Amino acid sequence: MSLTPIGESRQKVTVASLKEKKLRHEPITCLTAYDYSSARLVDEAAIDIVLVGDSLAQTMLGYENTLSVTIDEMLHHTKAVRRGVKHALLVADMPYGSYHTSPDEAVRNAARFVKEAGAEAVKLEGGEKRADLIRRIMDAEIPVAGHIGLTPQSVNVMGGFKVQGKTLNAIEQLMRDAVALDRAGVACIYLEGIPREVAAMITAEIETPTIGIGAGPDCDGQVLVFHDILSLTFAAPAKFVRRYGDAAAEIAHAVQAFRRDVLSRQYPSDAESYHLPKETRSALEAVLERKRAMRGR
Please give the Cα distance from 203 to 80 (Å, whole number). Answer: 33
Burial of 56 (0-12, 13-18, 19+ CB in 10 A): buried
Indicate which single residue of 131, 186, 206, 225 sits in contact with ligand KIV (rule: CB under 6 A): 225
Helix axes 71-84, 36-44, angle to 10 degrees: 50
Beta strand 210-213 with 221-224 is: parallel
Minimal CB distance to ligand KIV: which residue? 53
Segment lying near ligand KIV (by CB under 6 A), choices 49-57, 69-77, 113-121, 247-255: 49-57
CB of 54 to ligand KIV, least distance (A): 5
Catalytic residue among 44, 120, 125, 192: 192
Q: In DSSP terms, which residues pair with 145 in a beta bridge?
A: 123, 188
Choice between 195 and 214, CB closer to ligand KIV? 214
Please give the Cα distance from 98 to 106 (Å, whole number). Answer: 6
Please give the Cα distance from 261 to 44 (Å, whole number). Answer: 33
Annotated catalytic residue 192: yes
213 binds ligand KIV (CB under 6 A): yes
Q: Residue 89 corresponds to which amino acid?
A: L
Please give the Cα distance from 142 to 111 (Å, whole number). Answer: 7
Q: Residue 44 corresponds to which amino acid?
A: E
55 binds ligand KIV (CB under 6 A): yes
Site for ligand KIV in 139-168 (CB under 6 A): 147
Indicate which single residue of 93, 120, 182, 220 sits in contact with ligand KIV (rule: CB under 6 A): 93
CB of 256 to ligand KIV, least distance (A): 30
Run of H or E residues at 28: strand 28-32
Choice between 33 and 106, CB closer to ligand KIV? 33
Segment lying near ligand KIV (by CB under 6 A), choices 47-55, 68-76, 240-248, 255-263: 47-55
Q: Which amino acids are annotated catalytic? A: 192
Q: Site residues (CB under 6 A) for ligand KIV?
A: 32, 53-55, 93, 147, 190, 192, 213, 223, 225
